[in-house]
Amino acid sequence: MHRMDTDGRKLAREAVRAGLSPLATGEGALAVPFGAINPRGIGPTIRSQPAIPKAAISKAATPRAAPSQPAMPQSANVQPGLCGGIARPRRVPVECGDLPFVIRRDGSWHYRGSPIGRKELVCLFASVLKREADGSFVLETPAERGRIAVEDAPFLAVELDWRGDGRQQTLSFRTNIDQVVTAGPEHPIRIAHDLLTCEPTPYLHLRPGAGHLAIEARIGRAVYYELVALAVPEWVGCRRMLGVWSCGQFFPLGEMPPGEE
């Protein structure tokens, strides 16, 4: 009996050295690592793979940050593409200098001295018309740009439609290229006076330019007379002015003569 116990202890020590559980040694038994032993002590827990430490699991679950890449220099002519990528550089229009276009005071467009009769073509050129900070006008496409001559304003307001009255009144103008613009805070009406004759000339703001000077439409004489017919007196500062309301804003047309109410 004593020899058998000694042999059993010797077999157990050899099993431990081999990394095997003494509970799983013997003929026909499975060699089970210590990490797979059931901690409750009721026989071994058979696993196909050894247990993975929790620290390793949490580390694997944490997504790895993408390797940082050196930032690419951005220039004024490079636009960001989709998904943060870099798109192809923006094309710089070729400067063509002075183009043989002239916009007359009556709103007609001329090319090399001949009027452009097709309205669709005029509307096409008008869509690429821009105003520079110095007040000059250019035609600019993605491929080229050039200056053109404008005698007064590039457009002409030829028709007026009004609704409501007083502060609720709205004034809508149609230009010679069939653009409809409603006067208001974003499209104000201004009056300019001739230096020699002091004759008033009204203008309607259509869209902003590159500087403080906007692209405007000159209000035709017949339309201006309609504005005068709709005018009402209002105090502007300490002056009594005659003007029109549109979209809640008052636009003075001129100062009332003294003694008139």
Q: What whole-number distance in Å separates Cα of residue 3 and Cα of residue 49?
A: 37
Average pLDDT of every residue of the chain: 79
Confidence of residue 42 (pLDDT cuts 50, 70, 90): very low
User: Dihedral, CA atoms, 102, 103, 109, 114, nearest 10 degrees?
Assistant: -40
**Could you tell me how far CA 28 lies from the centroid of its own chain?**
77
Q: What whole-number distance in Å separates Cα of residue 170 and Cα of residue 188?
A: 12
> Do 94-150 and 155-255 show the same overall fold?
no
- pTM, 2 dp: 0.66
| pLDDT, position 58 | 52
Residues 54-73 have pLDDT tens digits of 555 555 555 555 555 555 55
- The dihedral built from the CA positions of residue 207, 208, 209 and 215, taken in this order, carries a sign that is positive
When mean pLDDT is compared across 11-25, 84-98, 202-216, 235-249, the lowest value belongs to 11-25
Confidence of residue 29 (pLDDT cuts 50, 70, 90): very low
Of all residues in the chain, the percent with pLDDT exceeding 70 is: 66
Q: Which CATH number fits domain 94-150: 3.40.640.10, 3.40.50.300, 1.10.10.60, 3.10.540.10?
A: 3.10.540.10
The number of helices, as runs of H, and strands, as runs of E, in the chain is: 4, 15
Of all residues in the chain, the percent with pLDDT exceeding 90 is: 57
Domain boundaries, the chain: 94-150, 155-255
**117 and 130 in contact (C-beta within 8 Å)?**
no
Pick the closest to residue 231 from 201, 256, 204, 206 (CA basis). Answer: 256
